[in-house]
Chain A
């Protein structure tokens, strides 16, 4: 194992290389460009012999990825924001054809207005694509998750594509240390891909596409896809165990921190996990009973597991770095329905923060916790835009234009 300094993009590129990927169709977009840059450099320097294909758009990238995976290749690509949206149509085809493609995504707010900075609306736009979805909190987890992703995706009981999301800039362009496992160690965990259903053989064409079906067949296909998604939950747990055995790093469908005796739980995603970790430490030092639940696996959605760890909480803050206008945070209703399903009844508040990269700090997380305590006292959850509080830049902009 070599611990070294990498960006989030670099960690994803290293994982693809260690996974001995066959084919990387690609198109650059900020904040994903360094992924393409890095792989292109390796190919140019003769360090990695991979089929690296530059395409004319993200729609073509995903189409090529489908072709590559249908022909039996281990396929990797990456995108984010507008690029990810342009792939959207073909992403359904990838999952419908049950192709184990793995894609790293670098979250960035969606235009308009245009922004280069992170929020998770682009990533969470894919909740119904049939892709397994992971969200990483640091560069180590990006590397690890991509390796786990291939193992899950290629499992006979799953055969679905996987996205591994990282926050644009905050991880994708941030340099921090990560263990880049040796080729030998990765080979042991993730052997070479041996496709059983997808291959290129004109004499024995596999049935993968082209048929137009009526509702009965369609329903059967879709229900199998749904079943495969449920299987992915159990398969993933086994993969996390195998991963821990090989690399000594523990993962689960989510990460909890000091949650066992916590009255107030902050529910976050992505790189906000680390600042929340810091905030929890500072609040615990003041005697507050707070904990964190960081969502890692978003699809399939582990609702039973969620409900179990939240059953003792008095209040839960769902911190959404995304927005579905007209509804609020995207994860808010998902969490509420999971709790309802399992008869767990804390006060649940929604905090919509960090849109378009609006800087999130330990202090802001502590503010959110204060507000959650107030909501619990009132006995009623709320929807709160913490970044629009008096004293923030957003607040002064808003006041300036308010008549």
Chain B
């Protein structure tokens, strides 16, 4: 089973990102489960979202304490949330939205991506949930770029077409920028 944990703040779209990853993996024939935890429904509060991806039925539920990949959408969370929790195993990966390396204690591979500048360029707002998925695709190989593109379109279906397109472009731009 492949487990993804997303850290963000309320309003930054971690929940939607989890759903998009689930939709993409499901499109590629996997079994999936996407789930989020948050306290009160308010913007700015720390939120965690989880995705489980497997070849067979998924019976586990609840928080993911031993993720294979962690996405951090807001680097300021590093001060208050233990985002590296359970990340000590080999082969785990952490993708952080930041312009430069930060002090993070972990044995996992940490990749810093300036998601903010890409999101601002394509979307004009500091919302990174779709953009960072480009890095996720490139670094994990869990789903294909084409599938991720289709998944964004499915989940953002109710949005105006232009918004949908911009999100796909931002995701692709992030994919191009990230080096494996």
Contact = CB atoms under 8 A, between A and B. Distances in A.
A19 interface: no
Contacts of A30: 41
Given A5-B26, A362-B60, A116 B39 contact: yes
Given A5-B26, A274-B61, A173 B35 contact: yes
A5 B40 CA distance: 26
A278 interface: yes
Interface string B11-54: 00000001100110010000111111101110000000000000
B35 A177 contact: no
Given A5-B22, A359-B63, A170 B41 contact: no
B12 to A, nearest CB: 17
B125 interface: no
B59 A176 contact: no
Contact of A177 (B32, B39, B158): B32
A271 interface: yes
Contacts of B35: 169-170, 173-175
B41 to A, nearest CB: 7
B59 A274 contact: yes
A382 to B, nearest CB: 25
A33 B151 CA distance: 24
B81 interface: no
A361 interface: yes
A168 B124 CA distance: 35
Contact of B60 (A5, A169, A175, A275): A275
B62 interface: yes
A175 B23 CA distance: 9
Nearest to A278: B59
Given A5-B23, A116-B39, A175 B62 contact: no
B75 interface: no
Contact of B34 (A41, A174, A361, A362): A174
A360 to B, nearest CB: 6
Interface in A95-117: 116
A278 B41 CA distance: 32
B156 to A, nearest CB: 14
Contact of B62 (A5, A41, A177, A275): A275
Interface string A165-190: 00001100111110000000000000
A177 B26 contact: yes
Contacts of B31: 177
A176 B19 contact: no
Contacts of A41: 158
B3 to A, nearest CB: 13
B58 interface: yes
Interface centre among B22, B39, B59, B158 (most CB of A within 10 A): B59
A277 B59 CA distance: 7
Contact of B61 (A116, A175, A275): A275
A170 B37 CA distance: 9
A173 B63 CA distance: 14
A240 to B, nearest CB: 21
A362 B58 CA distance: 12
A21 to B, nearest CB: 23
Interface in A1-40: 5, 30
B41 A175 contact: no
A163 to B, nearest CB: 22
Nearest to A271: B61
24 contacts: A5-B19, A169-B35, A169-B36, A169-B37, A170-B35, A173-B35, A173-B36, A174-B33, A174-B34, A174-B35, A175-B19, A175-B22, A175-B32, A175-B34, A176-B58, A177-B32, A271-B61, A274-B59, A274-B60, A275-B59, A275-B60, A359-B63, A361-B62, A362-B60
Interface of A: 5, 30, 41, 116, 169-170, 173-177, 271, 274-275, 277-278, 281, 359-362
Given A174-B34, A274-B59, 13 more contacts: A5-B19, A5-B26, A173-B35, A174-B61, A175-B18, A175-B22, A176-B34, A177-B31, A274-B58, A274-B60, A275-B61, A277-B59, A360-B61
The 10 closest A-B pairs by CB, nearest first: A278-B59, A175-B34, A274-B59, A174-B35, A359-B62, A277-B59, A176-B33, A359-B63, A175-B22, A275-B61
